[in-house]
Copies of this chain bind each other. A is one copy, B any other.
């Protein structure tokens, strides 16, 4: 749990200084595992986004390299991720783009704007914004997005057109077109899915039993996708599956990415801005959630604003190297972490491995069946599904459940951007609504103690001429009227009343609306010969009240403890 004191604008300096041979060994192993896992994923995610396959690999290279320099997490693995690919496809499909080249250039523009927004947010120190997305909303959003991605992959699995703007439409179109499915492709795809699922969930344990170290066994079980790709390429080449109607990846340009310019036409920038903003938010929130979860395990810290800079720079650079929007990927970062990556250099080495593949192995990628990439994506997004958040939030509170359910429903029926927005809005409104009807208890003294408890639940001492009310909420605009009418009702029920004491140990704020309401309550009670008193007001609230004329107007007194008030007024 030590803070990285030398974390500056270039966090790489803080770890590069003490870099040793042990670090190199650990990072290199992690890099191999990550690269092997990332290559098929990146190709598949490029297809999800609708850009050329090599864009996924270019984005992985630039994302890994640039984040290694500017990011604050030691283990976050940055590159194409499923949800950003989905959002990219949705954003670009709303534009009327004609050629694939235009489409790819627009993807670069989106990546550029996402990067620019993130960098600007970093400069403005807006890292705290991530706090406003509730965890259950994020989980629900990721689950719904994973379902949308899975539906989009059905196109490759069944080789039928699947179209629609929401989950139901996509599903209906899939069902309608199902009779036209290409059975050989489907068979290959299903075998691939079974193979990958077995690798992922059942391989690690037997390997450990065979004497392999746990980490090595887990790493090996993650090589499923690359083994699958190798076998599928061989089969595809050997039996010329392309002629049998199985779609293959086709020609992938060899070599490193050259400098490509995004399309900077003002019209495009304007129409993509509203897509880039949620993309930037999701990129940041997803990445920092993963980064923090991993950092906590090694007692490292994440600097939110540095994280914005790292992700912003990665997206900006990727937009000039023919890539697509990037973020920290969950399973990849976890694999990187578990394989023992010591520093972000691991990401740099992984980028090097991908570069070697781009230089020497692109010819064989030609034969890779697209359905195998779909299988890789399907198995990967399966891990993102978490429906337990529905039951968990239902058990916790109706307001958490509402936010979760609305996020899920809106993401599936309208889209990812609308879904996360609706979820956050629901959570915020639910909070305001809850605090508008605060918990308020009429209290009395537990005999023989100085404690005051709810008269409904405890046998307590009370006095006919004192009404003691404990307010369990900040007093602010949504609940001022509620408090006013509640107090007037309580007072009306008690004819002989002389004193009202508001017990405020849980009043964390008093805004101007509440202050004016308190003044009004005070005046109305005074007209009826009833004094208003306060007790156990917290120091910060006393400070607020002392800055106003409230105390000159207050008909009663302010007591340090409710017990003093009770003894004094009785």
Residues of A within 8 A of B (CB): 1-3, 128, 130-137, 292, 296, 299, 301, 392-393, 395-397, 399-400, 427-428, 431-432, 434-436, 438-439, 450, 454, 457, 472-474, 476-482, 485, 488-489, 491-492, 505-509, 511-513, 515-517, 520, 524, 528, 538-540, 544, 547-548
Closest A-B pairs by Cβ, 4 of them: A134-B477, A1-B492, A400-B512, A135-B513
Q: Knowing A135-B513, A431-B476 touch, does A3 contact B489 (C-beta < 8 A)?
A: yes
Chain B residues with CB under 8 Å of A130's CB are 481
Q: Return A546 CB to nearest CB of chain B, in Å.
A: 11
From B399, B400, B540, give the contact of A472 (CB < 8 A).
B540
Query: When the two chains form their complex, are residues B477 and A131 in contact, meaning their CB atoms are under 8 A apart?
Result: yes
If A488-B1, A508-B472, A520-B296 touch, whether A436 touches B131 (CB-CB below 8 Å) is: yes
List chain B residues, Cβ under 8 A from A137: 477
**Contact between B477 and A132, CB atoms less than 8 A apart:** yes
| List of B residues within 8 angstroms of A450 by Cβ | 450
Determine which of B477, B538, B544 lies in contact with A133 in the assembled complex, contact meaning CB atoms within 8 Å.
Answer: B477
Could you tell me the distance in whole angstroms from the C-beta of A82 to the nearest C-beta in chain B? 23
A539 and B454 contact, CB distance less than 8 A: yes
Please give 17 more A-B residue pairs, beta carbons under 8 A apart, in addition to A431-B432, A435-B509, A505-B505.
A1-B491, A128-B482, A133-B477, A134-B513, A136-B513, A296-B488, A301-B488, A396-B547, A400-B512, A428-B428, A431-B511, A435-B508, A450-B450, A454-B539, A457-B539, A506-B506, A506-B538
Q: How far is the CB of A541 from chain B (nearest CB, A)?
A: 9
Query: Considering residues A3, A134, A136, A517, which has the most beta carbons from chain B within 10 angstroms of its beta carbon?
Result: A134
Return the contact of A434 from the options B482, B505, B509, B547 (Cβ within 8 A). B509
Check if B400 sits within 8 Å of A492, measured CB to CB: no
Whether A512 pairs with B393 at a CB distance below 8 angstroms is yes
Tell me if A473 and B399 are in contact (CB < 8 A): no
A540 in contact with B439 given A296-B520, A547-B396 (CB within 8 Å): yes
Q: How far is the CB of A398 from chain B (nearest CB, A)?
A: 11
The winner among A505, A506, A547 for most chain B CB atoms within 10 A is A506
* Measured CA separation A133–B479 after assembly (Å): 11
> Once the chains bind, are B473 and A547 in contact (CB under 8 Å)?
no
* Bound form: Cα–Cα A399–B509 in Å: 12
Using known A-B contacts A136-B513, A506-B505, A528-B1, determine if residue A428 contacts B432 with beta carbons closer than 8 Å.
yes
Instruction: Kindly report which residue of chain B lies nearest to residue A477, judged by CB atoms.
Output: B134
In the complex, the chain B residue whose C-beta lies closest to that of A476 is: B431
In contact, A516 and B135 (Cβ under 8 angstroms): yes
Nearest CB on B from A552, distance (A): 14
| Cβ of A339 to closest chain B Cβ, rounded Å | 21
Q: How far is the CB of A559 from chain B (nearest CB, A)?
A: 14
Out of B134, B491, B516, name the residue touching A512 (CB < 8 Å).
Answer: B134
A61 to chain B, nearest CB (A): 31
CB distance from A378 to the nearest CB of B (A): 28
